């Protein structure tokens, strides 16, 4: 039984990864971490584990390598699709997968690293340029602005109640929109929707832009509200 420590701040991606790895009876996730300090604590608590961590956590790589060596553990980096796998392999990490990795490749990577091998992906699964992502572009163009806002919040890990609150509507309305979104994307649930979005660069970029715009609008509204409350 190979022990797995999973560290990633993206709740949906972490849940998808855990779901994939749980299907292999030789792999057991013993800890899930959302930040660097929790990951470091888990590494020292569970020596000899395979540590699967997101590069987006931005850990101190020198410190991480030292902690891994002390614990007798190996690490696999979940890299962003724009990053170079070779950079992490040169640092001494035993494997690299991209955000766009398939479930089969992810499981094979973990098994190879657990067996003492090094896993280097040949390329990101996403196309090299946004123009080549025809599926992502087609889905993006089919989604309405309201649906795209919901997709953006789903990718951030928001539940229906939070989405309804942030978009100033009801949970039932969100559920109705989700049914339409599932039909347009060909997925069956929110986890598949989030992973589908992450795996298609054009759609992921559009969702990120909408998410940033929504956050900016919320900050602006909060500032106006605070200003009004402070007025005599």
3-state SS of 76-132 is EEEECCCCCHHHHHHCCCCEEEECCCCHHHHHHHHHHHHCCCCECCCCCCCCCCHHH
Same domain, 13 and 108: yes
* The domain boundary residue, chosen from 80, 114, 148: 114
Token digits for 88? 């992490």
Mean pLDDT computed over 139-148? 95
Same domain, 102 and 137: no
Q: Ramachandran region of residue 77, left (φ > 0), alpha (ψ -120 to 50) or beta? A: beta
* The domain boundary residue, chosen from 114, 139, 173: 114
Number of domains, the chain:
2
Same domain, 104 and 135: no
Residue 110 maps to which CATH number? 3.40.50.2300
- At residue 215, the pLDDT reads 86
- The highest-confidence range among 93-102, 171-180, 212-221, 222-231, by mean pLDDT, is 171-180
Q: Which residues pair with 4 in a beta bridge?
A: 29, 50
Residue 151 lies in a domain: yes
- For the chain, counts of helices (H) and of strands (E): 11, 5
Residues 6+ apart with CB under 8 A from 29: 4, 5, 6, 18, 21, 22
- In angstroms, the Cα distances linking 174 to 35, 162, 215 are 30, 10, 18
CA-wise closest residue to 4 among 98, 123, 107: 107
Residues 6+ apart with CB under 8 A from 106: 17, 20, 21, 97
Mean pLDDT computed over 132-151? 90
| The residue to which tokens 């987006």 are assigned | 56
- At residue 5, the pLDDT reads 97
pLDDT tens digits, one per residue of 41-97? 999 999 999 999 999 999 999 999 999 999 999 999 999 877 888 999 999 999 999
Assign 219 a pLDDT band (cuts: 50, 70, 90): confident
Given a cut of 70, whether residue 107 has pLDDT beyond it is yes
Domain of residue 209: give its range.
Answer: 130-230
* The domain boundary residue, chosen from 114, 149, 172: 114
Token digits for 158? 């928001």
What distance in Å separates the CA atoms of residue 35 and residue 69, rounded to the nearest whole number? 20
């Amino acid at each position: 039984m190979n022990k797995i420590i999973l560290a990633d701040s993206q709740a949906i991606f972490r849940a998808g990864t855990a779901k994939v790895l749980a299907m292999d009876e030789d792999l057991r996730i013993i800890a899930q971490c959302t930040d660097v300090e929790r990951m470091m604590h888990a590494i020292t608590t569970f020596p000899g584990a395979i540590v699967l961590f997101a590069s987006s956590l931005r850990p101190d790589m020198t410190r991480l390598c030292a902690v891994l060596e002390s614990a007798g553990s190996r690490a696999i980096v979940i890299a962003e699709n724009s990053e170079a796998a070779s950079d992490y392999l040169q640092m001494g990490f035993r494997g690299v997968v991209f955000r766009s990795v398939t479930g089969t490749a992810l499981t094979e990577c973990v098994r190879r690293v657990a067996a003492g091998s090094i896993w280097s992906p040949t390329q990101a699964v996403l196309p090299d340029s946004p123009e080549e992502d025809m599926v992502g572009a087609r889905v993006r163009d089919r989604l309405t602005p309201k649906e795209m806002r919901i997709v953006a919040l789903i990718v951030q890990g928001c539940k229906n109640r939070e989405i309804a609150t942030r978009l100033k509507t009801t949970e039932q309305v969100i559920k109705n929109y989700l049914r339409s979104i599932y039909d347009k994307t060909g997925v069956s649930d929110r986890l598949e929707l989030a992973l589908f979005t992450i795996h298609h660069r054009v759609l992921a970029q559009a969702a990120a832009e909408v998410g940033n715009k929504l956050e900016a609008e919320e900050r602006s509204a909060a500032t106006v509200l605070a200003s009004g409350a402070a007025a005599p």
